[in-house]
Amino acid sequence: MTETVLANARLVLPDGLHHGALVMRDGRIARIDSGTAVPAGATDCEGDLVMPGLIELHTDNLERHIQPRPGVDWPHGDAILAHDAELAALGITTVFDALRVGSLVSTGRGYGEYARGLADEIMAARAAGLLRISHYLHLRAEVCSETLIAELAKFGPGDRVGIVSLMDHTPGQRQFANLDSLRAYTRGKYGMTEDEFQAHVEAQTAMGERVRAVHEAATVAAARAMGAVLASHDDTTSAHVAASAGHGAGLAEFPTTSAAARACHAHGIAVMMGAPNLIRGGSHSGNVAARDLAEAGLLDILSSDYVPASLLSGALMLGDLWGDTARGIATVTAAPARAAGLADRGSLAEGLRADVIRVRRAGNMAAVRGSWSAGRRVA
């Protein structure tokens, strides 16, 4: 048997913080004790927080490692390992790597297929025992695309696809409802002239109208076939939410308005917001502020989105905002575990998987001083 004891810690339990010790044995949480005693052989946590490992449902971080500069395609194996190690060091012990499915191949400024190949590389690294933390796949199904159905068909129940999200980036819809914001984003990223931008908007709008219903139906069917949770993306109106609920969505990624978030709760759909939005004090694209939803009781889950370090900081910020550290931490542990159907992790409880982190706070800063994945120290 392999045993690790973290003693003299402030344990983040479902009902609050309790001083005690956590015993990990053979990959599971074996026992939780009360008190400040430090048994022989135990690690003295010196009052640090000990909490469940963080669970990340939506991150673009792997893309940053694969393309560290525009036009640079870094070796994928090295990128996957760097991404994995970064998350482990930041206290994330379960990640759903977000991969886009659905491409534009008929336009010179389109984007190509990559998800199946990259998924194979992630799973090969996992099979070789090279990954520190637990990896699942999150397929982001781009409705406004040409190849969505063919790309989805390349995935099946054995591919560890935990989440499939319905994205619609048709101009004038959802995240891109404001064409001025879309203009700034698209022209900045692709160097388009105004005429090229207008032609792009017209072509994409026509495509969205043509394929939306068929692609949505195909995505819903694929999620069911894979046994994955279906998520909506950028719901803006109550009508969007009603459609998501009709499809069977259990998770709403980044609703853009308070009305949409409120409708999600009315339909029993968990609301996930970006931790960068919370920390920065608002959305970089002008959508609803995560803090406003938190204060209204409409925020259930945080995602680090494009800044992995924001997940822990955001959860602690929510704990301070709500006056309840355990509640804040639950938005990055128990709540995402529940939304993703992971019943074996997300809380400090006997018998659960020993995904555990040790955290020291100093003012507004928080440092991860140890990460354990299935009882094995990984950072």
Task: Find out whether 305 and 60 touch, Cβ atoms under 8 Å.
Answer: yes
CATH of 54-344, one of 3.40.50.300, 3.20.20.140, 3.40.50.880, 3.30.2130.10: 3.20.20.140
What mean pLDDT is reported for the chain?
A: 92
Query: What gap in Å lies between CA 248 and CA 135, rounded to an integer?
Result: 24
Quote the CA–CA distance of 198 and 183 in Å, as a whole number.
9
Residue type, 5: V
Tell me the C-alpha distance between 15 and 292, whole Å: 25
- pTM strictly above 0.85: yes
Going by CATH, does the domain composed of 1-52+345-379 fall within 2.30.40.10? yes
Domain with CATH 3.20.20.140 in the chain: 54-344
Does residue 208 contact residue 143 with C-beta atoms inside 8 Å? Answer: yes
Q: What sections of the chain are H helices per DSSP?
A: 61-66, 76-89, 115-127, 148-152, 179-190, 194-226, 238-247, 258-266, 275-280, 290-295, 310-322, 325-330, 334-340
β partners of residue 161: 137
Query: Virtual CA dihedral for 246, 250, 255, 257, nearest 10 degrees?
Result: 60
Q: For strand 251-253 and strand 229-233, is the pairing parallel, antiparallel, or unpaired?
A: parallel
Low-confidence ranges of the chain (pLDDT < 70): 1, 107-110, 169-172, 174-191, 200
Helix 258-266, helix 238-247: angle, nearest 10: 40
Q: Which residues touch 329 (CB under 8 Å, ≥6 apart)?
A: 12, 51, 52, 315, 316, 319
Residue reference for tokens 């935990």: 162
Q: Give the 3-state secondary structure of residue 262.
A: helix
- CA 232/CA 249 separation, integer angstroms: 6
Stretch(es) of the chain classified as CATH 2.30.40.10:
1-52+345-379
Q: What is the pLDDT of residue 187?
A: 61
Contact in structure between 168 and 144 (CB atoms under 8 Å):
yes
> Is-contact 81 65, C-beta < 8 A?
no
Determine contact, residues 87/364, Cβ cutoff 8 Å: no
With beta carbons less than 8 A apart as the criterion, state whether 310 and 277 touch. Answer: no
Q: How far apart are CA 302 and CA 277, in angstroms?
A: 10
Per-residue pLDDT, 155? 98
